[in-house]
Structure 1
Amino acid sequence: MLTPALCLVVQGAKWTMFGDRRFDYRAGQALVVSVEIPSLSQIVAASPGEPYLAVAIVFDLTTMREVLESLDTPPKVDGDVCQGVFVIDIGSQLAACVLRMIRLLDTPQAIGALYPLLMRELCYWLLTGPHGSDIAKMTVASSHTQRVISAVHNLRERFAEPVRVEELATSARLSPSAFHRQFKALTSMTPLQYQKQFRLLEARRLMLSSAMNAETASYKVGYESPSQFSREYSRMFGLAPGRDVAAFRSQVA
């Protein structure tokens, strides 16, 4: 479950799936995520000699909003919902800023004083970059994007309950058809796909962290039929629940 963040690859390569969309990114690129969203990922370029290296920086949306308001020429924020996920090339200014962030780990006593300044710099380069408009829409409370994001949060918090799309559309002040279209533009999946993937990821977490069996986990996340849960779990993860959990534990044992 990814949160709004900049996921920058330093070495190697990776792909991440959101619904039916796949994003490939490698060293010198970053995945930008603007909304909490379920995903599947796989590292595709790594070796003992050159391991996969990456850094994920969670966005501070309050700082992002402050920087946006301070710009002399802020990016245009139109009525369309933003791209919820996209890949960017890392320019030299952004790379230097991230490197300074990482180097703060060597001097923990300086993090409190300097990290907020570096976060402001990071927000500046993102807002003034090629995807500045999409970044800005994350912070503008009156935008369609923010209303759809609020509906996403509502769906996430009530993921185990039956939720009607019409109800979510009303909360976003959109017609059902417009809400469905903008939700998919933001998350790369429909509301029902989002709920299903969230349920399956949560069930997997429960089985791995709490030793919960598949049937109990399926009821816990909102399924009424364990057999339906097993079928959908197998389609998402490639193995039936019990076999998947056993395989994961054997790898980390």
Structure 2
Amino acid sequence: MSQALVDLVHRYTEAHPGTNPWMTAIDNVGILRSDVPRQPSPLLFQPSLCVVAQGTKQSVFGTRRYEYGPGQALVVSVEMPAFSRVAAASPEEPFLGVVIGLDRKLVSEVMDSLAAPPKISPQVPRGVFVTDYDGPLADCVIRLMRLLETPEAIPHVAPLVMREIVYWLLSGPHAADVAKVALADGRTHRVLSAVHALRANFAEAIRVDELAAIAQLSPSAFHRQFKALTSMTPVQFQKQLRLLEARHLLVSGAANAETAAFRVGYESASQFSREYARMFGAPPRRDAEAFRRPLPG
């Protein structure tokens, strides 16, 4: 654990009263803090590097559970729904984390500039994994946090540090997974195209054979490779997207439960309520009301 990073993140949250997550003056960089453990919460992960400075976090993607603590980071390379919770935190030692968005275009640019790019296997890469961050990568995260104390330097220095972070990811033990998603060539590109099609049309009835055709694979091969990438089946992926969008509609006041159900693709309001309660732990209306209340810590 880097005490310097702990001190920087703690100091920032103390100096900037607000709600979790703190979105900083650096594009695609956010800060997480919790003074108490949290129950699992569904959310939609964007491609990102999720660094833990203090405390412990758990995230579940489909059938795979990842636990990561100080000195570790979760790397997500594909937009995916998941359940995430703060597992270890206290007022004396709050959970502190930094989330750094990964821009696929920047990853591709750095990849193209490498004299010896990482070797890529023919297998579909993992869309998420846990890695240690130390040495140069840890130094980059610390420098990003220090930049927040000199905002006039952010436009000039932050893009360089972000590029360096990508370089170290492409030079690390999981370089092939990062690189293959960034390149999105061949089979991976086709599977990703199907994932994006499902993401864009999640409210429509799913036809696995149509998604398989986009990926240019047989339905069975597509199903296997989709799960290898996302840790869930296409049906599970779609259901979580639908319910996350419904929750957004309910919490924002844009729709009531019945309207939200039909807008995200459910034909039965009662089925929607059952599946919503199973995912969020309470019926739609009660959950939305509880979600609007500020959480302590």
The TM-score range, normalised by the shorter chain, is over 0.9
**1:252 CA displacement:** 4.6
| C-alpha contact (below 8 Å) 2:251/2:289 kept by paired residues | no
Deviations 1:52-106 (A, max 9, x none): 1111111122221122122222111122111011111112211001111121112
Are positions 1:75 and 2:118 aligned together? yes
Q: For the residues of structure 1 that align with 2:137 and 2:240, how far apart are their CA atoms?
A: 33
* Candidates 229, 233, 253, aligned match of 1:210: 253
Are positions 1:147 and 2:190 aligned together? yes
Partner of 1:21: 64
Q: For the residues of structure 2 that align with 1:152 and 1:130, how far apart are their CA atoms?
A: 26
Are positions 1:166 and 2:209 aligned together? yes
Deviations 1:198-217 (A, max 9, x none): 00011111111125321111
Aligned residue type for 2:125:
C
Q: For the residues of structure 2 that align with 1:119 and 1:140, how far apart are their CA atoms?
A: 18
Q: How many residue pairs were aligned?
A: 253
Aligned residue type for 1:239:
A
Q: For the residues of structure 1 that align with 2:147 and 2:248, how far apart are their CA atoms?
A: 32
| C-alpha contact (below 8 Å) 2:51/2:72 kept by paired residues | yes
Q: CA RMSD in A?
A: 1.5
Q: For the residues of structure 2 that align with 1:35 and 1:149, how far apart are their CA atoms?
A: 8
**1:109 CA displacement:** 2.3
Are positions 1:187 and 2:230 aligned together? yes
Unaligned stretches of 5+ residues in structure 1: none
SS at match of 1:138: helix
Q: Which has the higher helix share?
A: 1
Deviations 1:25-47 (A, max 9, x none): 11111000010001111111111
Partner of 1:113: 156
SS at match of 2:80: coil
**1:196 CA displacement:** 0.4
| C-alpha contact (below 8 Å) 2:202/2:238 kept by paired residues | yes
Deviations 1:149-172 (A, max 9, x none): 221111111111112111111112
Deviations 1:109-146 (A, max 9, x none): 22222122112211111111110100100111323222
Share of identical aligned residues, percent?
Answer: 59
* Candidates 101, 107, 111, aligned match of 2:144: 101
- TM-score between the two structures when normalised by the length of structure 2: 0.81
Aligned residue type for 1:208:
V
> Which piece of structure 1 moves more, 39-48 or 111-120?
111-120
